[in-house]
Amino acid sequence: MIDLTQNYILPLLFGAGLLAGTVDAIMGGGGLITLPVLLGVGIPPHLALGTNKFQASFGTSIATWRYYRQGWLSFKIMVLGMLPVLSGASLGALLSQYLSSVILSKLMPVLLILILIYTLFSPKLGIEERHPKVREITFYSVMGLLLGFYDGFFGPGTGSLWMFALVFFLGYSLPKATAYTKICNLYSNLAALLWFAIGHQVDYRIGLVMAMGQMLGGWLGAHLAIHKGAVIIRPLFISVVTATIVMLVYH
């Protein structure tokens, strides 16, 4: 059990939650900050994954609420993606406690490199809304199941995958894709969290400390995205994708 009375532990956990919540609310990738911190303070991997889902759910909830209040989310579309994402994430979280994630850890850098190259050579991608390549019901049924499973099973880069998929397949602008990425992340976080909790893989003491930072960060990140739009989202998207690639390659 981690000793929370050490002087540096509480500020470290709160600060990691605050920074991760801010980044995650804008375009995802908060796990790149929180997971290394959780592992660094001595939490076993599966317990770190469950605790990470717990604390991240707070920041994601605040960010989602802000986007909804701003009118960036349609209730109809929110419902459309709910069942596929919940189903995929539940299956992924359940299997992650028994199976190795080695294959996904090898495959993801390749996929993210392709996304990064495409984004760098498409400077207008996501600046304005475009005509969708597929119907929304088809997209959320298929991608909700696949990305929900990935988030529950492994996780790193899920926000980036959602952002790119929403922009590429549905023609969403980056700000709109940011909002829908948050609600989809919230679904998969809650579904995965349920199974981690059932498996006793959540440290609630540490999770609550980080959750306080996450809530503040979620509000701040959503505020920045709402008022700065693609100006702040695109460079952060490129940075987070790059950081995820480096983490997965050298993990």
Is residue 2 included in any domain, yes or no?
Answer: no
Task: Print the domain residue range for 177.
Answer: 9-250
Number of Cβ within a 10 Å radius of residue 10: 15
For residue 226, being part of any structural domain is answered with: yes
Distance CA 206, CA 203 (A): 6
Q: Is 167 part of a structural domain of the chain?
A: yes
Q: Report pLDDT digits (tens) over 4-24.
A: 666 678 889 999 999 999 998
Asked whether residue 54 is domain-assigned, the answer is: yes
Q: Which tokens hold the place of 37?
A: 């911190």
112-142: burial string, b at 16+ Cβ within 10 Å, e else: beebbeebeeeeebbbeeeeeeeeeeebbee
Number of folded domains in the chain?
1
Has residue 231 been placed in a domain? yes
pLDDT band with cut points at 50, 70 and 90 for residue 1: low
Residue 101 has pLDDT above 80, yes or no: no
pLDDT tens sequence across 159-188:
889 999 999 999 999 999 999 999 999 999
Contacts for 177 with CB less than 8 Å, ≥ 6 apart: 126, 162, 163, 166, 167
Residue 166 lies in a domain: yes
Q: Supply the pLDDT for residue 131.
A: 93
Say if 205 falls within a structural domain. yes
Q: What pLDDT is stored for residue 49 in this prediction?
A: 84
Percent helix, strand and coil across the chain, each rounded to 5?
80, 0, 20
Neighbours of 47 (CB within 10 A): 18
Please check whether residue 1 lies inside any domain of the structure.
no
pTM, entire model: 0.88
Q: Is residue 32 exposed (0-12), middle (13-18) or buried (19+ Cβ within 10 Å)?
A: buried
pLDDT score, position 152: 83
